[in-house]
Amino acid sequence: MYKEIKFISAEEAVKHVKSGDHIHFSSVASAPKILIDALCKRGDAGELKDVKIHHLHTEGPAPYTDAKYEGIFFHQAFFVGGNVRKNVQAGYADYIPVFLSETQKLYRSGALPCDVAMIQVSPPDKHGFVSLGTSVDATLAAIECAKTVIAVVNRHVPRSLGDAMIPVNMIDYFVECDSMLEPAHFSEPSEIETAIGKNCAALIEDGATLQMGIGAIPNAVLAQLGNHKNLGIHTEMFADGVLPLVEKGVINGADKVIDKGKMVSTFLMGSQECYDFIDDNPMVAMMDVGYTNDPYVIAKNPKVTAINSALQVDITGQVCADSLGTKFYSGVGGQIDFIYGASLSKGGKAIIAMPSITNKGVSKIAGILTPGAGVVTTRNHIHWFVTEYGAVNLYGKSLQERAKLLISIAHPSAREELDKAAFERFGPHYHYIG
């Protein structure tokens, strides 16, 4: 038996933060809101300065990025989520470009200090272990490296298994909270997104191991997979879209080579139903991001099919997924980890999928990327590219061949202009490319 834990108030707990400290918050639904609020009160009282805050995407408010905390808190995100985007773009918060697989390495290598880790965990079991629930990712590394670990113990945190299970002796201070986890809300796929989902689903073979990013397109893809067989999951995150496929037996991991029969992930975004699904579920392994997103681990399973989205693609296959011109919109995330891992997998398919035009009618396939746009997936990494107008494989294709293929699935209103841009770029021989 372990020694019973003693709780202190959130206000007492955050007194262990000093000016100049680096703080890590657990991610997504596990953001420790009660500690964040108490920390901001110390900021309001003028008790702190130059505190740096790090985390992946979090659900819910992120008040520490507000302009009023300039000089007090400085947020340096590993991923720019919607709750911090405006303040990152305004310069009151910042972004650290990093592969998702290496977020844990920032802490473990000492490249980034971690003075205080603020996390949210399940109540301890009879053996003295708590679970990190929906956020293992880089949080486990932060716990290992932090000088001080403060945990919010919350009965609503699911008892997820795998690397999520840690002993209470890794935690210094405990705060009790009973609030529900923040759910993620996804819109129903539009007609365009459904068409993209169908085009992606046509590329997925029985026995494939899936990775999908966040949003309506992954959900649209999953909705088309009801007649598939023996699909597996090895991903950075999943949400509610997988649950009906698990219930039908479509997702069972039977053909996986590693983690056979298990759904492997590192964080979750979804509804309460999704959080309940992983609770004490031996089918789900919540693992360190250094494992889930290692391309060489990913590649051990056959037919890995990775589907990720983009903001813009040029006619040579350069993929911008983190910025709109010079304005940062999201981050590198795990896109390259899985694009590369899938391309190394036997029978694997690396897919970039996006609508052909924006909501304002601007083509997302461009002659050249918008000045300042960041290339996440290089033209060397890209394989399959999908829009609502079809799917093309760019692997092994020359620049001029790529332009022809990409233009063929661009929005019809943009094809003539893109064809002209390709002709100006590649010269008169371009028109003779088949």
| Residue 255: closest CA among 272, 238, 277, 232 | 232
How many angstroms separate the CA atoms of 313 and 320, rounded?
A: 6
209-212 and 304-308 beta bridge pairing:
parallel
Task: Concatenate the DSSP letters of all residues of 36-104 into one string.
Answer: HHHHHHHHHTT---SEEEE-S-BSS--GGGSGGGTTTEEEEESS--TTTHHHHHHTSSEE----GGGHH
Query: Closest Cα partner for 122 from 163, 150, 154, 167?
Result: 154
Cβ distance 236 to 333 under 8 Å? yes
Structure-block tokens of residue 273: 């139903």
Active site residue 12: no
Three-state secondary structure call for residue 335: helix
Beta strands across the sheet bearing 232-234:
161-162, 284-286, 263-265, 232-234, 209-212, 304-308, 349-353, 384-387, 390-393
Write out the DSSP string of 200-230.
HHTTPPTTPEEEE-SSHHHHHHHTT-TT--S
The single residue of 102, 193, 236, 388 carrying the catalytic annotation is: 236
Residue 10 exposed, middle or buried by CB count within 10 Å (0-12, 13-18, 19+): buried
HSE of 1, CA atoms in CB hemisphere, 13 A: 3
C-alpha dist (Å) from residue 209 to 82, 328, 394, 430: 29, 31, 22, 38
Catalytic residue list: 236
